[in-house]
Amino acid sequence: MIKIFKIARLEISILFYSPVAWLVLAIFMVQSGTGFFGMLGSFQELFMMGEKADNLTQLLFPGINGLFDKVLQTLYLYIPLLTMGLVSREISSGSIKLLLSSPVKIREIILGKYLAMLYYALMLMAILGIYSLIGATIIKDADTGLIGAGLLSLFLLTATYAAIGLFMSSLTGYQVVAAISTLAVFAALKYVGGIGQSIDFVRDLTYFLSLSGRTENMLNGLITSADVIYYLLIISLFLGLTILRLKAGREAKALVVQAGKYFALVATVLLFGYISSRPLNIMYWDVTAQKTETLTPASQETAKQITGQLDITTYVNLLDQHVYAGLPVSRNTDLSRFEDFRRFIPGIKMNYVYYYDATDLAGNPNMIYQGDIKGLSVKQIAEKVADNLQVDLSNFLSPNQIRQIIDLKPEDNTFVRRLSYNGRYSYLRLYNENNQFPEEAEITAAIRALIVPQQKIVFIEGNDERSISLKGDRSYGLYSNARKTRKSLINQGFDVISVNLNQAGVPYGTTVLVLADPARSLSNVATLRIKQYLHAGGNMLITAEPQHRAAINPLLTPLGVQLSAGMMVNPDKSTPPEVINARFTGKDKNYFGQMKNTYANVVMPSAGMLELQPADFVADTLLQSSPAGWNKVDGFDPASASVSYEPQQGDSKGEKPLLVALTRNVAGKQQKIIISADADFMSDNLVTKAYNFPFINGIFKWFSNGEFPVTVKRPAPKDNALLINRKQLSVYSMVTLCGVPGLIIACGTVLLLIRKRK
């Protein structure tokens, strides 16, 4: 060790007796700080204009164009300047022969030179530490764990770059060639992850060797044993290669023996890399203040209940527009989408089934890229697509073969995953959004659906009710069973079906029975079955429009509720008189968290008023009208420019109940019923308005006793302000961008002058 430290000290002195080391420090500090203080100034202007911003630590450091992100983009340019002469200088001057013949072991020479580079890497990190200290001081409640993880990540990356540069320097006596070769290796390690992705063995090998993604994980605050070991293994690999390279010049051994040593070294590194990257062997440390790189407690609790193997089978249709996301070339990217869950469910097994099939070729958006397909069979089209994608059609099951395994027609043969655990199934789909893939809430809901009692939502049909299958403004499909809508019930853990009570009874295990605005009176058979269901303590959701009160009131009478004559009027002249902005007034806010907002209103057009006299139920009015509004008994034309209040005609002003929740205990359990005097607030054309969707989610969360939809929200970040003014920020900027770099240059100049005189 003494010899190693002596060599390191000598190398450091050589490094700092040249202007390069000093210039790199100064340029690195100015380049890093310019963007950092620029972003600080931008946020300060934002706050001065009265705007708000939170999560400042993330934004200023690892975020896009943040301090660490900028350094990550340019760090690779500095290291070759420092490492290009480590060994090539000895080779070109001939001093390498003296070193190899001296009583110093080759590994001591290499480790000594590398130790000098680590010292310089620490100096670069010290510069970043100055900015980190400034950030931790001036950001309110700064996330210091996130900053610390970023510094560690960049140090490990710099150390890895240094090991690579040291090896490349040992291959040539030309320093410029060594620098260029080092850059080439950096580029190779960055892009090697995209090589051979269609071949399983090659894909795993190149993915392990790739630098891409590892630094980003740590920059965002998640330190894993796999990433740390990866850096240490790559460092060990290139240091070992350097030692073997220099030994080969001194030892006269057969080429086969020397090649065997290289092979053994590479094989050992890959073996340890493979072992360390197995899910069961990975340790995690989320150092962020809000634990943003870890599943929320709700998801963790769900994951802990999976004790065995969880199969996730992805069905990839060659003729689907999302086929590329499931092909082998995209496998590692696809697997990474479940990485957070693997941490808590190591038994996840990912399976992929490839097939080709189509339910509607004419409406298939993927076909517009295939040219003229008129007159072609499904197989001929598949052959054409396979040729365009450069994949082997023989790896894809035919329509008949896939249909013998699973019926994907209900999913329109689109990209879909089926989760399987202990004989139960659930599905994950892609959505019509910018981010098409399921996120934590949807994945957790799909997993939770495998381990809790099935939540079955049954819609009654047969009496001109709102449809969940037909498209239209009045339909209920968007929030209930739209497979391409992220927040629909079917993608949030519920099973949604429909039943005609004229032909069959209420399905066993129904969580909530939904009667959605029947336009015609129900038959005696359907009415009897609903009453029997309610008498047994079943949950129910009833919505109706004022014009359909005759069809719905016979069912409401036994519940102590009636849909009153007339229609509610909105007194606000700036909006149509029939559009009511209902206020949430419910007592139980556990399931309606978003409705606590002062401005959380539910849009209810053409709403009626409820008359409440429930004898056997406890009533809780969830939505009320405005105190200034009134119920127009005779109704009115929505196209009217104005609607007048006429008490002599029976109009009544004030807050009126529009949606009520009824509860009572039946057979040892709580029965839940919701009645709404408006049916449109859940329709396809209004669910995306204001707080309608959050309120609807709250309704079904209440019915499911909090099981679904899964809540994955985190506490709001506290780092939402800067603690200095513009003048103080200018002082910080001047000192770090001018004063410190000037001092570095001055120290370097003085040292070089002293050395020159000597």
How far from 676 is each of 152, 202, 626, CA to CA, in Å? 57, 59, 16
Check residue 740 and give its pLDDT.
86
678 within a domain of the structure (yes/no): yes
Check residue 9 and give its pLDDT.
87
- Partnered with residue 350 across adjacent β-strands are 312
CA distance 509 to 452: 13
pLDDT tens figures, 343-378? 899 889 999 999 999 866 666 666 666 677 777 788
What is the DSSP code string of 374-415? TT--HHHHHHHHHHHHT--GGGSB-HHHHHHH---GGGTT-S
CB-neighbour burial class of residue 49 (10 A; exposed 0-12, middle 13-18, buried 19+) = exposed
Q: What is the mean pLDDT of residues 44-67?
A: 87
Which range marks the domain in which residue 330 is found?
297-421
150, 62 Cβ separation under 8 angstroms: yes
Does residue 256 carry a pLDDT above 70? yes
Residues 273 and 337 in one domain: no
Does residue 757 carry a pLDDT above 80? no
Check residue 250 and give its pLDDT.
65
Which of 270, 288, 306 terminates a domain? The answer is: 288
Q: At 491, is the pLDDT very low, low, confident or very high (cuts 50, 70, 90)? A: very high
CA distance 700 to 713: 18
Residues 122 and 214 in one domain: yes
Residues 302 and 284 in one domain: no
Q: Which two tokens stand for residue 379?
A: 């197989």
Phi first, then psi, for residue 415 (nearest 5°) are -60, 120
Check residue 94 and give its pLDDT.
66
Share of the chain above pLDDT 70, in %: 93
Residues 145 and 251 in one domain: yes
Q: Which two tokens stand for residue 753?
A: 């002058």
CATH of the domain at 525: 3.40.50
Higher-confidence residue of 750 and 604: namely: 604
Q: What is the mean pLDDT of residues 188-197?
A: 69
Does residue 317 carry a pLDDT above 70? yes
398 within a domain of the structure (yes/no): yes
Q: At 381, is the pLDDT very low, low, confident or very high (cuts 50, 70, 90)? A: confident
Residues 284 and 306 in one domain: no
Check residue 197 and give its pLDDT.
58
Q: What is the pTM of this model?
A: 0.87
Question: Using alpha carbons only, what angle is made at residue 152 by residues 150 and 156, rounded to the nearest 5 degrees?
Answer: 120
- Partnered with residue 353 across adjacent β-strands are 315
306 within a domain of the structure (yes/no): yes
Low-confidence winner among 83-87, 229-233, 473-477, 676-680 (lowest mean pLDDT): 83-87
Domain count, the chain: 3
Residues 251 and 360 in one domain: no
- Partnered with residue 416 across adjacent β-strands are 315, 429
Which of 288, 319, 339 terminates a domain? The answer is: 288
Q: Which residues does 467 contact at the CB level (< 8 Å), separation at least 6?
A: 461, 474, 475, 476, 477
Low-confidence winner among 43-52, 229-238, 677-686 (lowest mean pLDDT): 43-52
Which runs of E-coded beta strand occur in 517-656?
Answer: 540-543, 561-563, 567-569, 579-584, 601-605, 610-612, 618-624, 630-632, 652-653
Low-confidence winner among 296-305, 664-673, 740-749 (lowest mean pLDDT): 740-749
Higher-confidence residue of 20 and 294: namely: 294
Q: CA neighbours within 13 Å on the CB side: how many for 366?
A: 24
454, 708 Cβ separation under 8 angstroms: no
Q: At 494, is the pLDDT very low, low, confident or very high (cuts 50, 70, 90)? A: very high
CB-neighbour burial class of residue 303 (10 A; exposed 0-12, middle 13-18, buried 19+) = buried
Low-confidence winner among 190-204, 408-422, 629-643 (lowest mean pLDDT): 190-204
pLDDT tens figures, 693-730? 889 999 999 999 999 999 888 888 888 888 888 888 88
In a 3-state reduction of DSSP, which class is residue 474? coil
440 within a domain of the structure (yes/no): no
3-state class percentages of the chain: helix first, strand second, coil last, to nearest 5: 50, 15, 35
CB atoms within 10 A of CB 255: 8
Return the axis-axis angle of helices 106-138 and 19-48, rounded to nearest 10°.
Answer: 20
Residues 410 and 371 in one domain: yes
CB-neighbour burial class of residue 285 (10 A; exposed 0-12, middle 13-18, buried 19+) = middle
CA distance 126 to 150: 13
Q: What is the mean pLDDT of residues 316-336?
A: 88
pLDDT tens figures, 156-188? 999 999 999 888 888 887 888 888 888 888 888
727 within a domain of the structure (yes/no): no
Residues 270 and 320 in one domain: no
Which of 255, 288, 321 terminates a domain? The answer is: 288
Higher-confidence residue of 280 and 661: namely: 661
Q: What is the mean pLDDT of residues 70-78?
A: 87
pLDDT tens figures, 608-617? 999 998 878 9
Q: At 422, is the pLDDT very low, low, confident or very high (cuts 50, 70, 90)? A: very high
311, 420 Cβ separation under 8 angstroms: yes
How far from 83 is each of 118, 167, 219, 231, 243, CA to CA, in Å? 11, 9, 25, 18, 16
Check residue 183 and give its pLDDT.
84
Q: At 193, is the pLDDT very low, low, confident or very high (cuts 50, 70, 90)? A: low
427 within a domain of the structure (yes/no): no
Residues 321 and 273 in one domain: no
Residues 409 and 483 in one domain: no
Residues 314 and 284 in one domain: no
Residues 372 and 514 in one domain: no
